[in-house]
Structure 1
């Protein structure tokens, strides 16, 4: 994370200037080497940990008065626990290698105005008894700030830490994801992937972003952007690079001549029409041992209303046989192929993308997966979701 957060936030800067050993780990503000007394009346050091509420690269007032603590439960100088701050005890995994054994609660009447007030309040409560036994100890240790790792994001992702799922989110951090096709569904897939910490997002599409695309894609294109008629990959990279640093745009249609562009990825979303090119892409992914999700959306206008089916088909190294038994069409359409219909609306494109993203996260262990289905369909009429090809 950039050190700008400390220079732009007066409360964080004050903490460092006063000698507190402060670090940022993911969505956590960590105060290291806080002295405390354990139950054996020994002076030890632990770490105070708070979630961070941010507006860009500037802190907001803390969103909770609770902190976590990595160490044994702090005690008074006589070895009795400081029960006034007791909240919870357990094994807390807070993400980015940050763990804790306890959480504490000490809430002022008006809450904490900033992180300097919050962190120093807890540091004083915990370290006070230690100073009784060893007057020279202090949480103000004046350590040199560490060089902090660069994030894949241009600003901190704080949503995961607020709800305690940072460790789960980290399961996606090593991913290199390809999105093949940036039409209605593929663009929504990008919207969701770009909000995860994957290391790389490769975009593949040779089409131009035109007016009809703007009405079934996330965000809102300006009239000036539409007049420029950019390539889809360039337009979407410009939008999502505001958040995510790892986006690479390839304005090509993947086929046998360039399918090597997929080498090095760890997962793929295939959001393109059926045909020979899709078969080539899938064969390449299977050769590379890469898991993927293929999506399909087919709607028909009958008797004045739309009806149809959304499809999500997953393929992993552990299960691929169903792909070549008709679950994915390579025919390129036809009168009997529902998915060849080009009727698309943004809400169903988004839903198809959501189902694909959920399946990806299931495969990576982010979501619980009891059935381990590799093929699912959603039918608009009847609101019916079916799972098949379970492993």
Structure 2
């Protein structure tokens, strides 16, 4: 993680200058070595953990007055818990190796001005009894903070922290993801995956990004960008590198001659409709033991309105037989294949991508998965969602 928040935020900078062992872990502000008394009146040290409210790399006033605590419940000099702090007492996995045992609530009139105000106020309440029993004990003047942990993001992901999803997000962090095809659906898949902490995203597409792509893609391409006629992979890599690292563009269509570019991939999203290319991709992903999801849609105009079906088909090392039993068409001649109809609109591209990304997150344990479906279709006419291949 960049040290910029400490350099550019006066409140965080002041905490360090005051001698507090304070760090940013993922999306959380962590202050260690806070002295307190436990129920046996023993001197202990605990850790305060606060969510961060940032505008880029600069702090904003804290959004919440509550805070997490790692340690036993702090007590007064009489051994009784400091009840004025009590908020919740259930264990909470915050991610980044941080498991809080308690949540505290202490709201001053007018709220907290900044994070220096918030952290030092909690320290004063928690450490007060300890300083009475052991004069001179303090949370200040401890070890020099360790280097901030590396992150794939260029700025802190505060959305995950404020929702308390740090531990769940870590379930996605080890994946090396390949997105094959950056058309309408592939672009939305990339947009969603790019906002997760996956270590690497490989993009595969040999085509250029032109005007019709702009009307089926996330964001808003400028006229100047379209005039440059960029390759799709370069367009997406350039735009999203402003947010994160680990984007690797390949301006190729995967076939048997270059399938080695998928080596090391742990999960693939297949967003192409070319049968032979799809077959080469799937053969390689299966050979390296990767899971993958194939998407498709078929839309038709009938009686002046548009309708059709979206498809999401998943494959894992434990379940692949349905892929080769007709769920995916590998033929070169699509003929009457419903999913080959070349009508696509942005909202359905986005929905197809969302279905695929949700399933990926289910497979990784981020979302609850009660049915374990590996095939899903959505029919527009009746808003009908059907699962199969459980």
Alignment TM-score > 0.5, same fold: yes
Q: 2: CA distance between counterparts of 1:107 and 1:7?
A: 27
Is the Cα–Cα contact under 8 Å of residues 65 and 111 in structure 2 kept in the other structure? yes
Partner of 1:262: 262
* TM-score, reference length from structure 1: 0.99
Deviation track 1:127-153 (CA, whole Å, cap 9, x = no partner) reads: 010011100201112421211122100
Aligned-pair CA distance for 1:274? 3.1
Partner of 2:90: 90
SS in structure 1 of the partner of residue 112 of structure 2: coil
Is the Cα–Cα contact under 8 Å of residues 273 and 332 in structure 1 kept in the other structure? no
SS in structure 2 of the partner of residue 295 of structure 1: strand
* TM-score, reference length from structure 2: 0.99
Partner of 2:343: 343
Aligned-pair CA distance for 1:334? 3.2
Kindly report the root-mean-square deviation, in angstroms, between the aligned alpha carbons of the 2 structures. Answer: 0.8
Unaligned stretches of 5+ residues in structure 1: none
Aligned-pair CA distance for 1:342? 0.6
Q: 2: CA distance between counterparts of 1:368 and 1:158?
A: 23
Q: 1: CA distance between counterparts of 2:155 and 2:60?
A: 14
SS in structure 2 of the partner of residue 373 of structure 1: coil
Aligned-pair CA distance for 1:18? 0.8
Q: 1: CA distance between counterparts of 2:280 and 2:230?
A: 27
Q: 1: CA distance between counterparts of 2:349 and 2:116?
A: 45
Is the Cα–Cα contact under 8 Å of residues 333 and 340 in structure 1 kept in the other structure? no
Partner of 1:375: 375
SS in structure 1 of the partner of residue 389 of structure 2: strand
Partner of 2:387: 387
Q: 2: CA distance between counterparts of 1:288 and 1:203?
A: 18
Is the Cα–Cα contact under 8 Å of residues 25 and 98 in structure 1 kept in the other structure? no
Deviation track 1:56-94 (CA, whole Å, cap 9, x = no partner) reads: 000110010001111111011111111111111011111
Q: Which moved more, 1:143-152 or 1:370-379?
A: 143-152
Q: 1: CA distance between counterparts of 2:5 and 2:98?
A: 19
Trace 1:33-52 onto structure 2 (pairs within 5 A): 33-52=33-52
Aligned-pair CA distance for 1:333? 4.6
1:5 corresponds to 2:5: yes
Aligned-pair CA distance for 1:206? 0.2
Q: 2: CA distance between counterparts of 1:164 and 1:61?
A: 19
1:291 corresponds to 2:291: yes
Deviation track 1:162-219 (CA, whole Å, cap 9, x = no partner) reads: 1111100000001000000000000000000000000000000000000000000000
Q: 2: CA distance between counterparts of 1:351 and 1:10?
A: 43
Q: 2: CA distance between counterparts of 1:235 and 1:367?
A: 31
Q: 2: CA distance between counterparts of 1:319 and 1:312?
A: 15
Q: 2: CA distance between counterparts of 1:294 and 1:125?
A: 55
Trace 1:193-212 onto structure 2 (pairs within 5 A): 193-212=193-212
Partner of 1:157: 157
Q: 2: CA distance between counterparts of 1:344 and 1:23?
A: 47
Partner of 1:79: 79
SS in structure 1 of the partner of residue 107 of structure 2: coil
Q: Which moved more, 1:43-52 or 1:325-334?
A: 325-334
Partner of 1:26: 26
Q: Tell me which stretches of 4 or more aligned residues in structure 1 moved more than 3 Å.
A: 332-335
SS in structure 1 of the partner of residue 368 of structure 2: coil
Partner of 1:277: 277
Q: 1: CA distance between counterparts of 2:353 and 2:18?
A: 49
